Chains A and B, each alone.
Chain A
Amino acid sequence: MSSAAVTTQSATPATNAGKSVLARLGNAFVGRLVIIIPYVWLLFFFLIPFVIVFKISLSQTAIAIPPYTPALDFSGGISGFLDQLKQLSLDNYTWLTQDALYFNAYVTSVIIAAISTVLTLLVGYPIAYGMARAPATIRPTLLMLVILPFWTSFLIRVYAWIGILKPEGLLNQLLLATGIIHQPLIILNTYTAIFIGIVYSYLPFMVLPLYSALEKMDYSLIEAAKDLGCPPISAFWKITFPLSLPGVIAGCLLVFIPAVGEFVIPDLLGGSQTLMIGKTLWNEFFANRDWPVSSAVAVILLLLLIVPIMLFQRAQARAQEMDR
């Protein structure tokens, strides 16, 4: 095969050279397109929208459609543009600092997300560890079983918990019937329900990175520690846990970041008494129709999450380098 290709190539050097220059130009162009198409798409649909959010967070609320006064419209020329610059204001941000509701919502969201992340780690670690130590033949099946709920609708999985946690729900029925409790527990519409909802919904996100870190681990290290008289628990803290740290970090970020801005779980399981920023933003937008204030809420939420998001991106990039 290869000798045939060489002979045809050498038979017509002139035409081939011309062709290859054209082909190379064409290929370079195609190579560019591979980058340019998704790049432009993401610039337009991901990055520019944030600029618009920022812009609108600086404009005034108006009773109109759309319900804000346009900030930065270039149709008025330079003088018009300068006029508009003067109209930009930080009013929406001042408003956010004046109402304790927003501050509390941010703080509560971060705390709830942090606690839920730790809980998810505590629940997910034994599962991931058990999977990594399972016989190699059943590991793919176990992996499939962890991923499968992820394919089921988030909304449905949260909804399923309403029927379980209600005062007359299945959990209380079970506990009352077995005589463990005599009064139904009030779980739905409390923070406890939010914790359960987040741990449940985000568990696969925690288990998968943990599993991939633990699976790569060399277990002869543990055997060596055991042979040298190290008790299992300290072997875990000295060897297993440090080696699984990349998985722990990736899993925690994958849970923490979206959980801070979570809307569906606090809305369906947390009821009206619980306060989280995703719900606040939603209500500001859909109930109050205050687009500038909801934009300001979004900008601050983004600023809060920018460091964890960058850490996540770096962790991803590093994992990629290691796989190469």
Chain B
Amino acid sequence: MNTTWSRFNITSIVLGFAFLYLPIVLLIVFSFNESKLVTVWGGFSTKWYVSLFHNQGLMDATWVTARVGLISATAATVLGTLAALALTRYTRFKGRVLFSGMVFAPLVMPEVITGLSLLLLFVAVGLDRGFLTVTLAHITLTMCFVAVVVQSRLITFDRSLEEAAMDLGATPVKTFFQITLPVIMPAIVSGWMLAFTLSLDDLVIASFTSGPGATTLPMKIYSQVRLGVTPEINAACTILIAVVAIGVIIASLANKRREVQRQLDEQAAQRG
């Protein structure tokens, strides 16, 4: 089959990945630039990282972002998993079309619309803009992404496992926690991580819904980018990339290990 992977295919993949990764690599390289000019190499230095940690505004924003991300990702994972269950397990209920519309539409909805509409809701109900409103907004956006990730796992889920558990006398709730949940756990974990990084990244919705004292890191980076490109921002971006990359790698390694373990268990079960 190797012959089908022609030179054309290899070239397009190499070029495509170069296009995807080169800008990020350059950004990281220039965060170690001695010179204040971002585009002229002046020697290796980590001074921008040092100055980063003395930038109180940036550190405060990082703290706010981390808390918003942790809380909203966790809540969104619960809500998104419920939504995925509702969509896959209940094929018929009143307003199902509306429901699936509300799950899928936020995935493509321009952020300016979502941001504006949520802000107007918060104003209408008299909620002060700040930490709480950003968190609520992020839960709403990211739960839909979680729902899609978990749903794709639930569709391929072998339901005879659940039927077997219930035939043996387990209640549906117990079946869910003992059978279904462990099987779909990898999807839930990657849903959580997706929700967390989306919250970490969001500029537009946060700008609309946050208030004084709840400036998130992207808002801070954005306001500094508008003033000009500096190596310090490159350094901040590099740290953010590193955190996400390490998280993704750890999660995929853990997933792989669980997969291998499962295969070993299956082999053992077949032999025994």
Contacts and interface: CB of A to CB of B under 8 A. Distances in A.
Interface of A: 1-2, 5, 8-9, 23, 26-27, 30-31, 33-35, 37-39, 41-50, 52-53, 56, 66, 123-124, 126-127, 129-131, 133-135, 142, 144-146, 148-149, 151-157, 159-164, 166, 168-170, 173, 200, 203-204, 207, 219, 253-254, 257-258, 260-264, 268, 278, 281-282, 285-286, 291, 294-295, 298, 301-302, 305, 308-310, 312-313, 316-317, 320, 323-324
Interface of A is mostly: helix
Given A31-B90, A219-B4, A170 B169 contact: no
B110 A324 contact: no
Interface string B196-227: 01001101100110000000001001100100
B201 A154 contact: yes
B111 A294 contact: no
Interface string B82-111: 110111011001010011111111111111
A5 B16 contact: no
A45 B123 contact: no
Given A127-B13, A133-B5, A159 B229 contact: yes
Contacts of A323: 152, 155-156
A171 B123 CA distance: 46
A39 B87 CA distance: 11
Contacts of A153: 197, 200-201, 218, 237, 240-241, 244
Count class of interface residues, chain B: 35 or more
A49 B39 contact: no
B172 A30 contact: yes
A276 B267 CA distance: 58
Contacts of A39: 86, 95, 99, 102
Nearest to B137: A45
Interface stretch (B20-28, B51-59, B181-189): B20-28
Contacts of A161: 23
The winner among A39, A156, A219 for most chain B CB atoms within 10 A is A156
A148 B248 contact: yes
Contact of A37 (B10, B79, B151, B225): B79
Contacts, number: 270
B107 to A, nearest CB: 8
Nearest to A316: B104
Nearest to B207: A286
B260 interface: no
A170 B25 CA distance: 13
Contact of A152 (B24, B105, B121): B24
B84 to A, nearest CB: 9
B140 A46 contact: yes
B1 interface: yes
A42 to B, nearest CB: 4
A316 B139 CA distance: 22
28 contacts: A1-B168, A2-B167, A2-B168, A5-B167, A30-B173, A35-B82, A38-B80, A38-B86, A42-B103, A42-B140, A49-B117, A53-B120, A123-B16, A126-B8, A130-B9, A130-B16, A134-B5, A155-B218, A156-B241, A162-B229, A166-B39, A170-B39, A200-B20, A261-B111, A298-B112, A298-B117, A308-B108, A317-B100
B30 interface: yes
Nearest to B136: A45
B204 A263 contact: yes
A37 B82 contact: yes
Contacts of A169: 39
Contact of B113 (A1, A301, A308): A301
